[in-house]
Amino acid sequence: MHAPVLPKSLKHCRCYVNGEFVKSTKTFANYSPVDGKQIAVVYEADEALVDYAVHSAKKALSGPWGAMTVEQRAVLLHKVADIIEARFDEFVAAEVMDTGRPVHQAKTLDVYRGIHNLRTFADLGKQAHGEMFESHLPDGTQLLNYTRRSPVGVVASISPWNLPLLSLTWKAAPALICGNTLLCKPSEETPSSATLLAEAFHEAGVPPGVFNVLHGFGKDSTGEFLTSHHEIDAVTFTGESGTGSTIMQAVAQGVKPVSFELGGKNAAIVFKEADFTAAVQGIVRSSFTNSGQVCLCTERVYVHRSIFKQFVAALKVATEALKVGKPNDPDVNMGPLISLVHKEKVLGYMRLAEEEGAVVVTGGGVPTFNDERDYGAYVQPTVWTGLPDTARCMQEEVFGPVCHISPFDDEDEVIQRANNTHYGLAAVLWTENLSQAHRVAAQMKVGVVWVNHWFARDLRTPFGGQKLSGLGREGGAYSLEFYSETTNVSVRI
Ligand code: NAD
Ligand code: 6OD
């Protein structure tokens, strides 16, 4: 396999504001999760730069961007997608450098979805339509009501580190096709693909101030400066539920619209009617993809008691067959976690699980490589059994490669147990019984239910979570709704 090509611009990641790549007075280091070594220096947007960016974005609303038709904006978004395609390997290298994930995953998940997000919303935006109501008052007056959409204004988009390009473009594409201007704050852990994306917007000729990238942290830094700025018109956020709550408080005074995609403690249910082999492979995928660092990952698995022992044994074998290692190794299934700090958090949960009485079926610690990776953020894919549903490890999001398997006896019981969490993002059902699948899906308190698969996406469908897992839905028309203001025009005829 070829070594990934890393553009020089990523050694010193600058912010992108008002059509220019800018440095700031403060920098921070970006470290590789593979071996803990420093890989880049990043310029952190301070309060003055955030303020300048907000004003540039506001000004851009009434400039050439504001005068463009939706078709013209769609051409520009497709052009950005073309540039990502042309620089595909660089984007892959950027994601791999920051996250340590296997190259094939960066290709098929992050960068593929970056392109797909841009193209999908460019096309969907052109189909956005309003409503029309004809009515008659008691005196016979006839009214024609129709709705018009306009941009919300300056949108702040704050994204996490787990799927950097995917998350950022998932928000940027609909926000821009609707005519808004955008201030993106990628995670401090993953500045690289956002910097490359800014290069793509620049090269595509998107007018200055329309798309901006502000690097930095959250609290007392760029994220907080952005969400507390009174000239921001809306905030779209993906990240932890606690951060969502903090952001909600920051924007409360200005009553700004928010769209939140937050954490999860997702359950999978394996019924005795399941295709056993498909379910085992499915759980391996839904629990360990991206080292368990996908909000949709399964951390709780409920398996019918009649197949429980057999299932645990098969999952152990399948989990132990996963190869944990370097991103460039084509046979590797799992890379490191995002950082040494996150590794400590996940290891803390691994210790806690044992204190809470878990039986460690496999994993539970750190793999040994006897090379530089021993300084990296690797942990073993881990399977537990034996915990009560009330254990902290059954209630709190670990966001690592861990899952717990519990037996269940009947359908009503398992629905109640799967829903017994403060989160409500996703659930997976494994069953060949169609009636059972529909019956159970209807009772899951989550934003998305997958039946006999996991994380296959149609971008026109609503995506989001219930309870602590989010607020609002994005995807297809739901995104166009969030990123637009609607005005009703009522005409007396
Ligand atoms: P995080 O909440 O720590 O950070 C997310 C972003 O918010 C980062 O850019 C961070 O700098 C910024 N931030 C942090 N504090 C802030 C503040 N006070 N004000 C403004 N910005 C602030 O989350 P993370 O650790 O980067 O990501 C992992 C979490 O994201 C997990 O909980 C995961 O489930 C969740 N997630 C959810 C979805 C979803 O679609 N529901 C998708 C991906 C990740
Ligand atoms: O698939 C998507 O559109 C999406 N927003 C996925 C988020 C995954 C969370 O980690």
Query: What are the tens digits of pLDDT across the range 349-393?
Result: 999 999 999 999 999 999 999 999 999 999 999 999 999 999 999
In DSSP notation, 91-103 reads: HHHHHHHHH---H
- Residues facing residue 181 across a β-bridge: 154
Active site residue 396: no
CATH topology of domain 8-262+469-492: Aldehyde Dehydrogenase; Chain A, domain 1 (3.40.605)
- Cα 490 to middle of ligand 2, angstroms: 39
Count, in order, helices (H) and strands (E) of the chain.
17, 23
**Element spanning 172, H or E:** helix 164-177
Q: Is 224 in the pocket of ligand 1 (CB under 6 A)?
A: yes
In ligand 1, the atom with minimum distance to the C-alpha of 188 is 11
Q: Where does the pLDDT of residue 6 fall: very low under 50, low under 70, confident under 90, or very high at 90 and above?
A: confident
Cα distance between residue 429 and residue 410, in whole Å: 14
4 pLDDT band (50/70/90 cuts)? low
Q: Give 481 Cα–ligand 1 centroid separation in angstroms.
A: 23
CA distance linking residue 425 with residue 156, whole number of Å: 23
Instruction: Please say whether the beta carbons of 164 and 190 come within 8 A.
Output: yes
Which pTM was predicted? Answer: 0.97
- Tokens in use for 267? 């359950």
Same fold, 8-262+469-492 and 266-458: no
Classify the phi-psi angles of 482: left when phi > 0, otherwise alpha if psi is within -120 to 50, otherwise beta.
alpha
- pLDDT averaged over the chain? 97
Q: Which residues face 158 on adjacent strands? A: 185, 237
> Which pLDDT tens digit goes with each residue over 343-356?
999 999 999 999 99
Asked if 182 and 214 touch (Cβ cutoff 8 Å), the reply is no
In short, whether 295's Cβ falls inside 6 Å of ligand 1 is: yes
Mean pLDDT of 45-62: 98
**Whether the predicted pLDDT of 468 surpasses 70:** yes
Is 295 labeled as catalytic in the residue annotation? Answer: yes
The residues lining ligand 2, judged by C-beta closer than 6 Å to any ligand atom, are: 162-163, 167, 170, 294-296, 457, 463
Cα-to-centroid distance, 313 and ligand 1 (Å)? 35
With 90 as the cut, is the pLDDT of residue 196 above it? yes
Phi and psi for 38 in degrees, rounded to 5?
-70, 135
Ligand 2 atom nearest to CA at 117: 3
Task: Report the DSSP pairing between strands 132-136 and 484-492.
Answer: unpaired
Q: Give me the CATH topology for the region 266-458.
A: Aldehyde Dehydrogenase; Chain A, domain 2 (3.40.309)
* Sequence spans of domains, the chain: 8-262+469-492, 266-458
User: Could you give the C-alpha distances from 259 to 158, 273, 302, 415, in angstroms and in order?
Assistant: 11, 38, 31, 28
